[in-house]
Structure 1
Amino acid sequence: MKHILVVGGGLIGIRHVDAVKAHPNCTLVGLVDPDMSITCDAPRFADMSEVDAHVDGVIIATPTHLHAAHSIEAVQRGWHVLIEKPVAGTVEDAQKLEAVLAASDVASLVGHHRRYHAPVQQLKSVVQGGQIGEVVNVSLIWAMRKPDAYFEGNWRTAGGSPVMINLVHDIDLLRFVLGDIAQAVALAGRSLRGTARIESGAIALGFEGGVTGTISFADTSPSPWGFEAGTGENPNIGTTQQDMLWITGTKGAISFPSMTLWQGQDWGSAAQRVEFAANVNAKVPLDAQLDHFLDVMDGADPLIDVADAAKTLAIALGIENQLITQMKARVAS
């Protein structure tokens, strides 16, 4: 029975609390958050320094800029860490965390939980197994309208960019399936909420193997396209079951999450849909991630460690910085 502490009582933190409480091999030590009005059926602490109970592992679900500091504090107390994405606010912070971990006996895992989706694992297998031939390009759409209240009276008021909150997941998904990204060029969309906050845009990607791709994103559009909407993985977001990712190759193409597979020859005849069944999650991916965290604490290799997650972070930050520069230039002109 592992004793798990959750740090951060926001939307994802409470989901972690519920997952730990429901897991047969975990017990919830408590929830750490300076906002003591947040309640849960477990002890409450305003700070990790107040925790005097036995802890095996800690789930860090605080705002991104606090991830590294909170994780380092946990490592120094000998607690294994599961860190929500992004792994840190800066690449430098991620590197500091990696160095502290390397000098310890503490295990770590980063919460890019989409890697635990059965259809995502299947998509990687199909692509790498050559069923669509050599991959040529990829297109991804993430577009939904976030409610205005999402940005009010919290840390998102001054930022809340969908790149670091949402697209960082999609970037990691693409890296997991297609390999590392060598180049990313971003174009900022217009601001509809009357702020300088990043709201929409387009991104061109170049992968190390020569694959190219695009991401189109917006947090101002109530569209049916997005990972959360397509898979139904987030209870706070409506489910549409529509595809949001399309990968083409020299022998065919596949769309996700429906896992609709096409194969063909040339334009003289239509590509044919191939009978293919999408795998179904045996567990909620967040629960599967918790299972894996318990294994990592016992010595298993992490599905994504801090060094790997730092690569995803670097790409996301590069995109974010390009967009911020463009937004500032618009305000100044």
Structure 2
Amino acid sequence: MLINLVHDLDLMRHLCGEIVAVQAATSNAVRGHAVEDTASVVLTFTDGALGSFLVSDAAVAPWGWDQATEDDPTCPYRPDTSCYSIAGTTGSLSFPQLAHYFHDGGASGDWMRSAVAALQNRRGPATAHTNQLRHFVRVRARRVRAARLGRRRRPHARRGRGGRPRARPPATPNPYP
């Protein structure tokens, strides 16, 4: 079960930055195997943001990647169920539905007001991969703005022999002008 958690952790590092602290608990009480069947993980990121995961191969739940994205045709597809919820002070996002929740008028962190939901416009039924590719093409064509969650990370310095910075490769021309 935790073998697949590495993909979720990688996504969180991409969106939120590096992880500086981890707290976790695991259990194998349901199945009794030598490996865990349930885990709870709390992460702290460099900028102080917190992330949490509750994962289990033993729980009855529709919130898995395969159920929410139709990635695995052997799993029952749940188009109305998200597998990730990313929450911030000015808005939240559910994935893969890409429902963006926010307060009208730009108020942040006001839990006394109802959140407004803006759903991505999908063009008919399609798999999550098709919808992601369509959105990517619209971003590249500059018909919509790319979502920016968190701070932009600086690229790691490329080092050659002796610790000196390596020359950057020449820029590849943009195939989508």
Structure 1 and Structure 2 fold alike (TM over 0.5): yes
Contact 1:189 1:202 in 2 (8 A): no
- What is the correspondence of 1:171-190 to structure 2 with a 5 Å cutoff? 171-190=9-28
Post-superposition CA distance 1:128-165 (Å, at most 9, x none):
xxxxxxxxxxxxxxxxxxxxxxxxxxxxxxxxxx112x
Alpha-carbon separation, structure 2, partners of 1:268 and 1:220: 36
Q: Secondary structure of 1:170's match?
A: helix
Alpha-carbon separation, structure 2, partners of 1:229 and 1:275: 19
Alpha-carbon offset, residue 222 of structure 1: 3.0
User: 2:129 aligns to what?
Assistant: 281
1:245 aligns with 2:93: no
Supply the AA of the counterpart residue of 1:227. W
Contact 2:27 2:39 in 1 (8 A): yes
Contact 2:28 2:34 in 1 (8 A): no
Supply the AA of the counterpart residue of 2:111. W
**TM-score, normalised relative to structure 1:** 0.34
Alpha-carbon offset, residue 198 of structure 1: 0.8
Alpha-carbon separation, structure 1, partners of 2:87 and 2:132: 28
1:234 aligns with 2:72: yes
1:215 aligns with 2:63: no
Post-superposition CA distance 1:254-307 (Å, at most 9, x none):
11111111111223421111243369534999xxxxxxxxxxxxxxxxxxxxx9
Alpha-carbon separation, structure 1, partners of 2:62 and 2:18: 28
Q: Secondary structure of 1:198's match?
A: coil
Contact 1:191 1:197 in 2 (8 A): no
**TM-score, normalised relative to structure 2:** 0.61
Supply the AA of the counterpart residue of 1:240. R
Q: Secondary structure of 2:129's match?
A: coil
User: 2:143 aligns to what?
Assistant: none
Alpha-carbon offset, residue 177 of structure 1: 2.0
Q: Which runs of 5+ in 1 are unaligned?
A: 1-161, 286-306, 308-333
Contact 1:258 1:278 in 2 (8 A): no
Percent same amino acid at aligned positions?
27
Q: What count of residue pairs does the alignment treat as equivalent? A: 124
Supply the AA of the counterpart residue of 1:273. A
- What is the correspondence of 1:85-100 to structure 2 with a 5 Å cutoff? none
Q: Which has the higher contact order (CA 8 A, sep 6+)?
A: 1
User: 2:111 aligns to what?
Assistant: 267
Alpha-carbon offset, residue 236 of structure 1: 3.4
**Structure with the higher fraction of residues in helix conformation:** 1
